[in-house]
Structure 1
């Protein structure tokens, strides 16, 4: 019942916004309507059970532990592929894959029915999974893989966990204007995935935060253009985001396309460093939503901060904000007028586990 009234309210808001455009209301009036819609969302998000996502019921007690080691004497398998293939296609209990130190040159995909898989490395600096596909590479059918298919590691099943491991796409950083060079290190296309003490290393489109609720804790993410992108509902806590841009780059490209979508990226107690001139985000989606709170930003952040993807209409519908951030990159003097410094009330829904319903599926993990 709560969901129905909420959805109806949001639909009504969109209808109002449409007709206000059709009858050429002023920019300020349209912005006021958008602002009221956002404040209604704030009020609803402050309730504990706010999500439109399905109820999450995680399992943490392992029913099986698999060891992967380069030396067959010390493990059950010598490759990640063989370890994953040993798990039932329809998996109903927590399986832990313990991966020893070493570089595993493999392209891995967790199928949609293989839930409750945990991947544990010997340390992010010791256990590395790497590949080097780009969007322009040809797949088995002779067609380009595309960004989606370029991932070194892809997660399609719910309740996935990774700890202490590096995911890397070794494709070189593309030249400015190059096409087909997107090179994903990890793609997450499933709900309720968590990454603890992991590293994601690539250049263009490093981390495809595709869809679902995701949690990143104490992770290192490196890239140049849109190196955190997608339409996930994700909390990044205590993460280090490092740009390796030759000239201009962008940290995020969030793809929220509708007021009905409860998606967005929140970065809390993070650090942004690197080279080049970096946008905090580009409006890939019409209703793109990204927030940085308690985050240190180095001087690499461009004064404008955000980019509208070449579409001025998105300036009325995106939600980009900062709250209690520090460092030379936080200066609002040259910021775009459609980004904001958040109040405590506005920031509240973004800065805790409730943003991703974490109290339902992360309690035992943390």
Structure 2
């Protein structure tokens, strides 16, 4: 159906682009569903849930893209098919979540619940050298489906290019010369994604992501960020992955236009669309502040500069801050709505033992949660992304 849309859309750029994007995202969804089937036969229930969560995200991406090109009967029919597809995927994901939590005791199986319902789940080779030739060439040099890591050494320099790692490339490692030395850059300013990850079991350490709106797109699957610096202003960490950020510097930067006039920023915008998806953004031992340039504007007139921990991009948005240091720029109410009361009864926004002038929770919005010591393990690296099984082997 999507191929038919593409073939009938010559001269219509919006519909053509939507169809091309759909073909890619549905291919990714099919890949993750096949991985899920293999994982279930091997008893890898948590892996299977992660992969099926990603499959649902890809299906939703396709539907969302077609929504803006919905001007033919064929597009309408395709969107109806995608509605049915996401419904079946959601049902399968719900059953996997129930099995993960209750095993074969099917009498205990219930529709998926979240923390807002008071429910917390049980805890449980080669090398390429890149210099002036460009990073994409290093990616291309790696074999598809390798059994060993393929390391791409990126020498000091500025690489003005967009780097894409296709789904077929596995176990790829990018190793640069350090923050500020190895630089991969795109558009100069305004809304532009600096980095997007769809990679399962991805480890990003000692990297710097500089942008404005939508800097880091943690799209799907399991991701671990360690000692990174992430800068932006509007929704600059977003997506529907299961991602843990540990010991990272999260910094707000000034807007490009009239930076002293004032603004409203949200650090995160998580996009969980289904309560059974095992996704969320977790921040551990991070520092939340502004760049030196931003703090000059902020301190000159704090009342016009509003900064929030996050806002709900989708209905079941989930974001948690644990043992983080929050600077004075964080607004007392902490979290901001997306539009009206959208998602305020279904999201989960949590905080646990944070410190700093922005961590005072006495004026927090009533739809956020102070996580108890009893439940904070839910958001650990070991439990949330099963990091104890794969992160130690990544170094």
Does the alignment reach a TM-score above 0.5?
yes
One of 216, 229, 253 as aligned partner of 1:244: 253
Match runs of 1:165-184 below 5 Å: 170=188, 172-173=189-190, 182-184=191-193
Match runs of 1:168-207 below 5 Å: 170=188, 172-173=189-190, 182-207=191-216
Flag the structure with higher strand content. 1
| Structure 2 counterpart SS, 1:306 | coil
Match runs of 1:140-179 below 5 Å: 170=188, 172-173=189-190
One of 56, 69, 73 as aligned partner of 2:131: 69
Once residues 288 and 369 of structure 2 are traced to their aligned partners in structure 1, the CA distance between those partners, rounded to angstroms, is 19
Contact preservation (8 Å) 1:225, 1:251: yes
One of 153, 162, 168 as aligned partner of 1:98: 153
Flag the structure with higher helix content. 2
Contact preservation (8 Å) 2:323, 2:353: yes
Aligned CA-pair RMSD: 2.2
Q: TM-score, normalised by structure 2?
A: 0.66
Task: Please list every run of at least 4 consecutive aligned residues from structure 1 whose deviation after the TM superposition is greater than 4 angstroms.
Answer: 6-11, 33-36
Q: Which runs of 5+ in 2 are unaligned?
A: 1-42, 46-95, 295-304
Contact preservation (8 Å) 1:10, 1:259: no
Match runs of 1:122-141 below 5 Å: 122-132=177-187
Once residues 327 and 11 of structure 1 are traced to their aligned partners in structure 2, the CA distance between those partners, rounded to angstroms, is 42
Match runs of 1:1-366 below 5 Å: 3=96, 4-6=98-100, 12-13=110-111, 37-39=117-119, 42=120, 44-46=121-123, 48=124, 63-70=125-132, 78-132=133-187, 170=188, 172-173=189-190, 182-245=191-254, 246=259, 247-274=263-290, 275=294, 276-366=305-395
Q: How many residues align?
A: 277
Q: TM-score, normalised by structure 1?
A: 0.71
Once residues 184 and 246 of structure 2 are traced to their aligned partners in structure 1, the CA distance between those partners, rounded to angstroms, is 23
Q: Give the 3 Å change call, closer, same or farther, for CA 268–36 of structure 1 in structure 2.
A: closer
Q: Which runs of 5+ in 1 are unaligned?
A: 15-32, 49-62, 71-77, 133-169, 174-181
Shift of 1:314: 1.6
Q: Give the 3 Å change call, closer, same or farther, for CA 103–36 of structure 1 in structure 2.
A: closer
